[in-house]
Structure 1
């Protein structure tokens, strides 16, 4: 989407050597001493903090965080069988593992540099506070990505001044989370209200609150298992809900059509990663609906190889009357015959042939569609997620589901079945469950509602279920997959206890001897 956050060409050359631009000698050089003098300077610097969420090589939200870094029991990669990250067969030297680390720390360093200089210009204090709040939040969010994927990492809270700056050891995971919370809570009081925005690509107050609820639920689960954080998660989910700034879109599929059509929905989607262009000169594009799209060979409709195929496990989690199933999971692919492109619908038996279907390129509005990149935004957090977090936290805090917990999950379910979200419906609504039964219902509902949005793996990890679910997936696939798709179990077969974390990259261990490798890598 076209975003308020434009390209920053500043930060990459500030403190590292850069190739000559047009082979001329520079007449000026951007340093903290001659930059950060105006509000515009601060805004450009903030743009540079944001744009690491869309790195050029697809490790962040342009591709990796919802695809090859998010492999769980919901999808597998077509025709990839051995020796690949996409089947969980890799080591600490794998390029993408190192690049994710590198890009996240680039974002952190840019945030640190901005925070160190945010008070320099003369400007409106409300606008300065908003910039400071967004930078604080983004620094914390990059750390959330790091600690969620790698575990203990260096907690660096000052910008890099010199290549000889001392290296840092990995901080305790609890310390990293405590800093994430502190930064986000400070940001909550500084950032702008979403009602002041025309899009949801900037961090707003309710976006901070929603992500804090997610962080607290993670702290309540593995590996910290701090059960007191369920109360905090409930508090922050309730802040979003009682703000009355957000609501469920009445039509589930329209959420994702809007993404593909470059339309904003500030009610359902609290925060989206803003993509722009198609990587033809402007490098803020992504691959939403391409990497994880339905198969289509026609460039006019929108090419996708249909790389991400679904498992029977996720397909069978849906009731046949649940409208989300045949939107999230493609019921058809495009085929070309005699020069004519048409839809070819899958049979009931063709489950493993199906691909992810949430973002469909047929709804893109670009006159010419690139095969590899597009401008479709990715939703980091939606209001449905907030309701499901509330339901889970209510159940844990009160040691059983409350009426509020039931209402939160049932709103999501009603929407899924095409029912009015505020009207009780005994045919759809849950009732009469114990604490463990309700948790299991929330876990399944999150799988249905949020599938293929990069959440499933990390949900399973915080619930302590990732390894057991992957191991049981092997048997499921052996029992249900056609012979041509038995390889779909390879990622699950290769998953061991070490895969709770990514390995600390070899590139980091080589230069930072204070870092220790994660277990069994």
Structure 2
């Protein structure tokens, strides 16, 4: 984006001449831990390198994959993709994108480990050193959270790679991986800075750690661990974010995403974002594809090209009431098309549900020019304040039942979605009163889908609730029975989902070299 430019710092190769005296001299242009981590600036550059792995130039992280083809659920399908593709859940352990996801996460972990091993070396202010250490601890834990959430138990590597001959590690249990995640994040919470010290939200701050910890604990409470005591921890950490007073709901839902497209920060709503920079047309290779991979259809480069490849399911569309303002923002009510040689906005008819595309990030609002067809600088929000409120409502319901606190958190999100004042009760939009614990949870599950549509959360939520397989199976039946004939193929991804898809396969690239690792079932 703007203020935080995440740079890849590659280790420079040494230059070897033919002179004996040169060979006897220690090369000064060969970067090693011994001659690199000598200043605070070195630590900062190394930390930027850890953040960088959340982007990934190949598009497998937050530049593209984690909110699109790595997060297939019942909320969307890919246009005109029918067979032999991860986008329709037809792949194996040799799938390139899954392998690259695994590799990129471990690159981030290794960079974090190397930084943590050298963070004490420079002479510098101890408070700033602690902040760097805290961010590195959190990021290492977050990479592990992405891995365990998608692959199950994974090797728990807590030291940097010293040699290609380092011993391989077996898979740690899911429980042990989560224990390390919690340990690192809780320590990071005491070290990182408060968001009030920044004018941007691409840096990990105290409320970001607390919000993600609430997410981690909710995940631990659900499948596959089913450690239900963690609901109380999730409630504690959601409450910490709320009590901080640092965050609030943006009163205008659509403005959250317009701000992203316009490279503007909203520290109240958006607690932590992945910072993108540029559009890959220059030397900086840190751009993403938010609003391109998942954008509304537009053939015009000046407006902002998107092939409109991702389409919402009718199930997703019908979760919204017509008065819910989020529906026609999250799901585009129009596309751009060339009519009589002129690019024109064309509205969809009421029956064109499957034709629609995602409209959350609209490239027409981008201000940076020239616009690239494939890349932009639009940030991706990892966690928003509305998510914290919904986690609060869910955890409160699980711990104390559907009490006033649970209803308040849920209804604040709903009211904003309908354009209402968030603190004023409104019988026309508030959740029905008198719900029991199970009914409240079911209502909240749909509310999370409405609020966080296409933000990479739906698959994660369905998995932890133990609903992913059943929801995909019922989606296949729905689409086959009700979709227009030209869109019946939209059921293919759901049809291909089986019990093995509760996790990704361990990549063949890892299985081949590490014989201590066993493959996930049925892969």
TM normalised by structure 2 equals: 0.97
Where do residues 118-517 of structure 1 align in structure 2 (5 Å cutoff)?
A: 118-280=119-281, 281-398=283-400, 400-430=401-431, 431-517=433-519
Give how far 1:18 is off.
9.8
Supply the distance in 1 between the matched residues of 2:505 and 2:460 (Cα, whole angstroms). 16
Supply the distance in 2 between the matched residues of 1:474 and 1:504 (Cα, whole angstroms). 26
Secondary structure in structure 2 of the residue aligned to 1:344: strand
Supply the distance in 2 between the matched residues of 1:315 and 1:79 (Cα, whole angstroms). 19
Secondary structure in structure 1 of the residue aligned to 2:35: coil
The Cα offsets for residues 317-365 of structure 1, whole Å up to 9 and x where unpaired, read as 0000000000000000001123311110011100000011100000000
Supply the distance in 2 between the matched residues of 1:169 and 1:125 (Cα, whole angstroms). 36
Supply the distance in 2 between the matched residues of 1:71 and 1:357 (Cα, whole angstroms). 18
Q: CA contact under 8 A between 1:3 and 1:274: conserved in structure 2?
A: no
- C-alpha RMSD over aligned residues: 1.3
Runs of 4+ in 1 over 6 A off after TM superposition: 17-20
Task: Tell me which moved more, 187-196 or 330-339.
Answer: 330-339
Secondary structure in structure 1 of the residue aligned to 2:54: helix
Q: CA contact under 8 A between 2:141 and 2:184: conserved in structure 1?
A: yes
The Cα offsets for residues 372-422 of structure 1, whole Å up to 9 and x where unpaired, read as 000000000000000000000000001x20100000000000000000011
Q: CA contact under 8 A between 1:467 and 1:497: conserved in structure 2?
A: yes
Supply the distance in 1 between the matched residues of 2:174 and 2:9 (Cα, whole angstroms). 33
The Cα offsets for residues 56-75 of structure 1, whole Å up to 9 and x where unpaired, read as 10000000000000000000
Supply the distance in 2 between the matched residues of 1:337 and 1:325 (Cα, whole angstroms). 26
Supply the distance in 2 between the matched residues of 1:192 and 1:235 (Cα, whole angstroms). 20
Give how far 1:475 is off.
1.2
Secondary structure in structure 2 of the residue aligned to 1:335: strand
Give how far 1:306 is off.
0.2
Q: CA contact under 8 A between 1:312 and 1:480: conserved in structure 2?
A: no
Q: CA contact under 8 A between 1:335 and 1:342: conserved in structure 2?
A: yes
Supply the distance in 1 between the matched residues of 2:301 and 2:2 (Cα, whole angstroms). 22
Secondary structure in structure 1 of the residue aligned to 2:53: helix
Supply the distance in 1 between the matched residues of 2:202 and 2:341 (Cα, whole angstroms). 40
Equivalent position of 2:19 in the other structure: none
Supply the distance in 2 between the matched residues of 1:333 and 1:46 (Cα, whole angstroms). 41
Supply the distance in 2 between the matched residues of 1:141 and 1:6 (Cα, whole angstroms). 17
Secondary structure in structure 1 of the residue aligned to 2:296: coil
Supply the distance in 2 between the matched residues of 1:129 and 1:198 (Cα, whole angstroms). 20
Q: CA contact under 8 A between 1:91 and 1:503: conserved in structure 2?
A: yes
Q: CA contact under 8 A between 1:3 and 1:275: conserved in structure 2?
A: no
Supply the distance in 1 between the matched residues of 2:95 and 2:316 (Cα, whole angstroms). 29
Secondary structure in structure 2 of the residue aligned to 1:140: helix
Q: CA contact under 8 A between 1:130 and 1:190: conserved in structure 2?
A: yes
Supply the distance in 2 between the matched residues of 1:60 and 1:19 (Cα, whole angstroms). 34
Give how far 1:27 is off.
5.5
Secondary structure in structure 2 of the residue aligned to 1:343: strand
Gaps of 5+ in 2: 17-22
* Number of residues of Structure 1 aligned to a counterpart in Structure 2: 512
Task: Tell me which moved more, 101-110 or 419-428.
Answer: 419-428
The Cα offsets for residues 273-301 of structure 1, whole Å up to 9 and x where unpaired, read as 00000112211100000000000000000
Secondary structure in structure 2 of the residue aligned to 1:29: coil
Equivalent position of 1:100 in the other structure: 101
Secondary structure in structure 2 of the residue aligned to 1:309: strand
Gaps of 5+ in 1: none
Supply the distance in 2 between the matched residues of 1:402 and 1:128 (Cα, whole angstroms). 43
Supply the distance in 1 between the matched residues of 2:349 and 2:482 (Cα, whole angstroms). 15
Give how far 1:9 is off.
2.0
Q: CA contact under 8 A between 2:211 and 2:241: conserved in structure 1?
A: yes
